[in-house]
Amino acid sequence: MMASFCSRFFTLESAIDYLETLPPEDQMNVEISQLPPSCEDGNLTDEEQIEENDLDEVMPSDVCVLPLPTLAPELIPLSPVELFYKIMPKEEMAHFAEMTKRYALQKGLTLSVEEEDIEQFFGLILLSGYNCVPSENMFWSTAADLAVPIAPATMSRKIS
β partners of residue 38: 44
Amino acid identity at 80: P
- Which one of 3-7, 62-66, 151-155 scores highest in mean pLDDT? 151-155
What is the per-residue pLDDT across 55-109, written as a single tens digit (0 to 9) for each?
666 666 666 667 778 888 898 999 999 999 999 999 999 999 999 999 999 999 9
* Res 71: pLDDT: 81
Q: Name the residue type at position 114.
A: E
Sequence-ordered alpha helix ranges (H) in the chain: 12-21, 24-27, 68-71, 80-87, 90-106, 115-130, 150-154
Crossing angle for the helix pair 115-130 and 90-106, to the nearest 10 degrees: 100
pLDDT at 68: 76
The tens digit of pLDDT for each residue in 105-132 reads 999 998 899 999 999 999 999 988 888 8
Residue 78 is predicted with a pLDDT of 92
SS3 call for 44: strand
* Integer Cα distance of 44 and 39 in angstroms: 6
- Quick count: other Cβ atoms within 10 Å of Cβ 128? 14
Q: Which residues contact 159 (CB under 8 A, 6 or more apart)?
A: 109, 111
What's the pLDDT at 141?
86
Asked whether 83 and 75 are in contact (CB, 8 A), the reply is yes
Are the CB atoms for 103 and 134 separated by under 8 Å? Answer: no
What integer pLDDT is reported at residue 40 of this predicted model? 63
pLDDT at 57: 66
Nearest by Cα to 120 from 68, 84, 160: 84
Look at residue 1 and tell me whether its pLDDT is greater than 50: no
Q: What is the pTM of this model?
A: 0.53
pLDDT tens-place string over residues 37-51: 666 666 655 566 666
DSSP-based three-state secondary structure for 100: helix
Q: Where are the domains of the chain?
A: 80-154
